[in-house]
Amino acid sequence: MRLGRVIGSLHCTKKYPALEGYKLLIVQPVDSSNNPEGMPLICVDTVDAGVEDVVYFVEARDASIPLKDPLTPSDATITGIIERIDTINRELYRK
């Protein structure tokens, strides 16, 4: 699982049937201090996240586990919205 910041959304009408009903979001992977890390990617959303939210997402084979049909083609799925990231005596992020 990795951290990411939602930077946009996208729509596609024609898609693989198992993906129907899911929202697709563009996510920029970030580190715990909110610095971007690597290329943005498209994630399937399961927690109703929105633009600017910091989220965590699960990748690879595990990405289709939280979806209704376990054979849904997804390689990145958002599984939670982050409210706060804190380390000792310091807050790194607050929603």
Partner 1 sequence: MRLGKVKANITSTIKNPYLTGEKIMVVEIINPDGTGTGKEVVAIEKAQAGIGDIVLLMDEGGSARMVLGKDRAPVRAVIVGVVDSINLKKEV
Paired sense of beta strands 2-10 and 23-29, if any = antiparallel
12-18 — which CB contacts under 8 Å span 24+ positions? Answer: 16/72, 16/73, 18/67, 18/68, 18/69, 18/71, 18/72, 18/73
DSSP summary character for residue 30: B
Helix, strand, or coil (residue 55) = strand
Nearer to partner 1, 10 or 88 (CB): 88
Q: What does the alpha-carbon distance between residue 38 and residue 72 come to, in Å, rounded to a whole number?
A: 25
> Binder to partner 1 among 13, 52, 61, 71 (CB under 8 A)?
61
Q: Which segment (5-13, 15-23, 83-91) binds partner 1 by CB under 8 A?
A: 83-91
> Binder to partner 1 among 7, 16, 36, 83 (CB under 8 A)?
83
Is 72 near partner 1 (CB under 8 A)? no
**What is the footprint of partner 1 within residues 12-51 (CB under 8 A)?**
31-32, 37, 46-48
Residues that bind partner 1 (CB under 8 A): 1-3, 31-32, 37, 46-48, 56, 58-63, 65-66, 77, 79-88, 92
